[in-house]
Structure formats: C-alpha cells, structure tokens
Amino acid sequence: MVFMFDSTPDEAHREQMSEVVRYVEIDFEKKTVRVRESFLDFIQISQKNAKSLVEDILKQLEKDEMELQDCRSQC
C-alpha cells in the first residue's frame, strides 16, 4: 500500500493536500491483478515548508491508523 500526498491551493486560495492510497487488488479466482487508487481526504495545511508538510503527513497517517514502517516512498 502506498500513500500519496500532493498539495495545491483550492478556489479560496487556501493550501490543501490531497491524500490518495494506491494498492494492489488480486482476484485469485479470475487470476487478475489490478493496481487501484482511491482518494481519501483533503487536508488543510498552514505552511508549505518541509517540516510542516512532514508533520501534517505524519498526523494524517496517525489519524488513519497507519504505521510509518508500513509505508513506501514513491518519487
């Protein structure tokens, strides 16, 4: 499972970050594998510096009850 975060201003020019999860769906009966993406949430962010973004992401992962060691990086 991969969590992706991307920030952009909304129509009111407030910074927000979208949270998307990417996962693999395996159907053993049909012998198919699909990569899926699902939108989870918008997160309001106050600052766009690295420290603040990391704090916001870690808070969201905690809220989602996801362990950081279970997450993978994607560049």
Q: What is the pLDDT of residues 21-64, one digit of tens each?
A: 888 999 999 999 999 999 999 988 878 888 998 898 889 888 98
Residue 57's pLDDT is what?
Answer: 87
Residue 28's pLDDT is what?
Answer: 96
pLDDT range class, residue 75, cuts 50, 70, 90: low
Strand ranges for 1-75 from DSSP E: 2-9, 15-27, 32-44
Quick check: 5 and 52 in contact, CB under 8 A? no
Over range 3-29, report the average pLDDT: 87
Residue 73's pLDDT is what?
Answer: 67
Instruction: Report helix, strand or coil for 15.
Output: strand
Identify how many contiguous H helices and E strands the chain contains and give both numbers. 1, 3
